[in-house]
Structure 1
Amino acid sequence: MKIRRWTTVALSGAVLAATAACAPGTASKKNSADEQTGTVKVWLYDEANRAPKEKVVADVIAEFKAAHPKVDVQVSYIPTDAGPRAEKMKGAFNDPNSAPDVVEFGNTDLFGYAAAGGLADITADLASWTEGADLPQDLKDTTVVNGAQFGVPWWIGLRSLYYRTDVFTELGIKAPTSYAELVEAAKKVRAAKPDMLGIAVGGKYTYGGLPFVWAAGGDLAAQNNGAYKAAIDSPQSQAGVKAYTDLFAKDICPPEQCADLTGGKTVEAFAAGKAGMAILPNSSRSAVEAGAAKGKYAVVPLPGQTPGSIAPAFAGGNDLGVMKSSQHRTLAVDFLKVLAGKKYQLAMFDAMGNLPTLASARADVVAKDPFLKPFMDTLNAGTKFVPKDAAWAKIDAQAVVPTLFQKVVTGKADVSGASKEAADAMNAAFGGK
């Protein structure tokens, strides 16, 4: 099977949110305009290998300019590293003259940007966009705050269960279809291969642990009358936390080896041949192919509690939005529609491996590359998201969820006590404390 190059920033909405999602101050009150000539300024994320992305964007610009011959497009590539990117956005919010018209951002950044008044409400602008109807509601909802849409999901990243086919075949293990089967398989691998982790899980791996919480019917927080309150200490959430932290056992993934593992470290462990299973994003494919596990793995959806069920995954990824200060609002929206349309979502997949958000485009990429089917099955089963509140940036930056996992894994607190502490920290953040 031909292996496409997969970008390593493919979950920036998930992995870069900790500091980048912090609201960059309050946007200037400069009134926006709707000029029909001039230059549309676009900010997109930089990449380790930008050339394929630039080529697709150049084609988008050519198509856009054919429809708007009196308009120029100026594209700038901004840092993906959290700190520099946050400073860049802060400057744009505080000085509209330096701001772009169209901007790419991590999907968990949206709430802080919207709360700061920096993004335009484009609900009405997208009402007549026919391709918008091809966007699944759960993904569209990640861009909606208080009934207003502030962006368009451009690409997504999902996690599924990678497993070693050679080891499973040798030991007569089938790919797990339930949590119980996952535990059983992990124990068999660890018992037969003491030098391997049954499954690589991490105490610092927020988005590896949350699917277990969601599969148990729990959640991070619940919204009531427009305000969020922590739900991580609910009985359902505690059951999910226990399901995840129970995997940190000597006969699966010993705490002394796994308590400090991050998502990136679990990728490294599996790629190096040191784990029988791991919960990894689609973007980890290139890393796995470059390691000892090359040609010896397959992927299935992460199973839920009951046989045949799929644990909900975090819908990471990036959005496109229009700045509220834009002086070219209609042109900005028009450019966004072209860039976010099916034609160029497919082109970005071919160039960068970015998974499309439009349903018909997803079907097309699975037909091209069957490797992606488990991720699409996971997506189609329904995804989950973080609280749509600017406070999530603070919660994430404070490592509230990883701290919860680590306290349980290391025996510093039981599930009840650790989840209560996490809930208190979340509620303080939601309350602006």
Structure 2
Amino acid sequence: MTNRVRRGAAALATALFLTLPALAGCGNGAADAGTLTVWIMEGTNPDPGPFFEDVSREFAERTGAELDVQYVPWPDAHDKFTKAMAGGTTPDVAEIGSTWTSEFADAGALVGLGERSRDAGLDDDMVPALRTAGTYDGELYGIPWYAGVRALLYRRDVFDQHGLRAPADWDELRETAVALEEAEPDMLAFPVLGDSEYTLDAFVWGAGGNLATQSDGHWTATIDRPDAVRGVDFYTSLATEHGTSAKAATTWNEADLVAAITDGKVAMAVAGSWTPATILADNPELHGKLAAATIPGADGGISPSFLGGSHLGIFNTAPDQDLAWEFVELMTSEEYAAQWAEQSGYFAGRTSLVARTERDGGPLVAPFARQMIEAGRTVPTTPAYGEIQGKKVFAQMVQSILNGKQSVSEAAQAAADDMDRSFGN
């Protein structure tokens, strides 16, 4: 982290501390050593109450301690954490978005868990990309809990009607999308989303490129390097040269895409593993008409895709870190990790459980599980990346290409320059 970023973070923390006296003492397990305060994000599991009632009973039997589970809406969570860290009112344990863990670790708010994890024998069964996202400066701060991944979702009935199959490489992806565009003019063959970094990432990585690279602890943008540019060019060219998308998709995010798939307007797209269940619940007529496949690599194989989810982290304000660790172990145990994954529609953070899902999950689940195990990847694990995402650097890049304002190389160079400013270069 650069001195400029550190000074800014310190100033923010000081300002927040001075303006948040009303939060003192809230949500801090220090008030009662027999109670563990836990923050869980609201909205992942449709009905988390029964699950945590069961967990609370088991935890009490094992430790004699009670759980105080507090639900935090995802949209409010980052600000709530930031204010709590500034005021010293963090919970004992919390669910932490996987792209936030390095930021909170850099701020000194989290307890290193590497030794505990090794002693518990958890290391070898963590989903690799989730472990990477939970590691900062060589130390593990976030224990993988659950995650989702993006793969290819398509209309099986439409493919069958036109004698098409899931593409095995980028040439086939382009040819299939063009064939669908001609055969199904009332559908979007392959939407190119202007506001979805994680869809773009798959093509950058699939071309052998990177968003940024680290050397001697310092990050540098690489989105303007030849391999990365090749991936950006392929993805955007599906819209600009081959007409598989539509002008409206220039501003679409992933929620817009899901709505369009649900309405029957999309033939093939990169979508999240959690979306098929939502789509089928909202449009039962699509039952039996959807299929999934891994995202094809440029020359075959699988293109990596972003794997995002949650870690469990222990905050340094926890008065009993051993007790907090017992909760983390319970939550990531085979029994409870599998239960949460099944109820929420995500995958557990344990490779063995994801492999079981790949084997037994069925045609709409198994390809996502394979994508997660074999080709899940995370974004750069640096606090500065949050600023890059906040500025929507990649959305601006893609939209400038789709709107014809910049060439691919010009837009990639502008994005790299913007990223490097955030990295302090």
> TM-score w.r.t. structure 1 length?
0.88
Give the match for residue 74 of structure 1. Answer: 68
CA contact (8 A) 1:35 1:329 kept: no
Question: 1: CA distance between counterparts of 2:46 and 2:179?
Answer: 43
CA contact (8 A) 1:249 1:255 kept: no
Tell me which of 326, 349, 352 is aligned to 2:344: 352
Question: 2: CA distance between counterparts of 1:182 and 1:358?
Answer: 31
Cα separation, partners in 2 of 1:245 and 1:416, compared to 1, 3 Å: same
Give the match for residue 40 of structure 2. Answer: 44
1:25 aligns to what SS in structure 2? helix
Give the match for residue 80 of structure 2. Answer: 88
Cα separation, partners in 2 of 1:48 and 1:374, compared to 1, 3 Å: closer
Shift in Å at residue 165 of structure 1? 1.2
Give the match for residue 178 of structure 1. Answer: 169
Give the match for residue 163 of structure 1. Answer: 154
Give the match for residue 51 of structure 2. Answer: 56
1:176 aligns to what SS in structure 2? coil
Give the match for residue 370 of structure 2. Answer: 377
Listed as ranges, the matches of 1:17-416 within 5 Å are 25=13, 37-47=33-43, 50-51=46-47, 53-69=48-64, 71-81=65-75, 84-96=76-88, 98-249=89-240, 251-289=242-280, 290-291=282-283, 293-307=286-300, 309-370=301-362, 371-416=364-409
Question: 2: CA distance between counterparts of 1:151 and 1:132?
Answer: 12
Shift in Å at residue 368 of structure 1? 4.1
Shift in Å at residue 240 of structure 1? 0.6
Structure 1 counterpart of 2:276, one-letter code? R
Cα separation, partners in 2 of 1:299 and 1:33, compared to 1, 3 Å: closer
Give the match for residue 13 of structure 1. Answer: none
Question: 2: CA distance between counterparts of 1:166 and 1:343?
Answer: 37
Task: Note the alpha carbon deviations across 1:106-129, whole angstroms, 9 max, x for none.
Answer: 100112111111111111222211
2:271 aligns to what SS in structure 1? strand
Shift in Å at residue 34 of structure 1? 10
Task: Note the alpha carbon deviations across 1:90-115, whole angstroms, 9 max, x for none.
Answer: 2321233x321000011001121111
Shift in Å at residue 255 of structure 1? 4.8
Shift in Å at residue 166 of structure 1? 1.4
Deviates more, 1:260-269 or 1:223-232: 260-269
Shift in Å at residue 62 of structure 1? 1.7
Question: 1: CA distance between counterparts of 2:146 and 2:45?
Answer: 17
Instruction: Specify every segment of 5 or more residues in structure 2 that has no aligned partner in the other structure, as ranges.
Output: 1-8, 18-23
2:154 aligns to what SS in structure 1? strand
Cα separation, partners in 2 of 1:254 and 1:300, compared to 1, 3 Å: closer
Task: Note the alpha carbon deviations across 1:1-54, whole angstroms, 9 max, x for none.
Answer: xxxxxxxxxxxxxxxxxxxxx9983798x9x99999521111111127653x22
1:379 aligns to what SS in structure 2? helix
Question: 2: CA distance between counterparts of 1:275 and 1:207?
Answer: 19
Cα separation, partners in 2 of 1:388 and 1:168, compared to 1, 3 Å: same
CA contact (8 A) 2:40 2:95 kept: yes
Shift in Å at residue 382 of structure 1? 2.5
Report the number of matched residues: 403
> TM-score w.r.t. structure 2 length?
0.89
Shift in Å at residue 250 of structure 1? 6.6
Question: 2: CA distance between counterparts of 1:25 and 1:181?
Answer: 51
Tell me which of 408, 425, 428 is aligned to 2:421: 428
Q: Percent identity?
A: 29
1:273 aligns to what SS in structure 2? coil
CA contact (8 A) 2:59 2:66 kept: no
Question: 1: CA distance between counterparts of 2:60 and 2:408?
Answer: 57
Structure 2 counterpart of 1:25, one-letter code? A
Instruction: Specify every segment of 5 or more residues in structure 1 that has no aligned partner in the other structure, as ranges.
Output: 1-21
CA contact (8 A) 2:354 2:373 kept: no
Across the aligned residues of Structure 1 and Structure 2, the Cα RMSD in angstroms comes to 2.4
CA contact (8 A) 1:200 1:269 kept: no
Give the match for residue 4 of structure 1. Answer: none
CA contact (8 A) 1:110 1:150 kept: yes
Structure 1 counterpart of 2:298, one-letter code? Q
Structure 2 counterpart of 1:55, one-letter code? P
1:429 aligns to what SS in structure 2? helix
2:200 aligns to what SS in structure 1? helix
Shift in Å at residue 201 of structure 1? 2.2
Structure 1 counterpart of 2:176, one-letter code? A
4+ residue segments displaced more than 6 Å: 32-36
Question: 2: CA distance between counterparts of 1:223 and 1:392?
Answer: 12
Give the match for residue 6 of structure 2. Answer: none
Structure 1 counterpart of 2:150, one-letter code? R
Cα separation, partners in 2 of 1:68 and 1:346, compared to 1, 3 Å: same
CA contact (8 A) 2:358 2:365 kept: yes
Structure 2 counterpart of 1:339, one-letter code? M
Cα separation, partners in 2 of 1:48 and 1:386, compared to 1, 3 Å: closer
Question: 2: CA distance between counterparts of 1:162 and 1:35?
Answer: 49
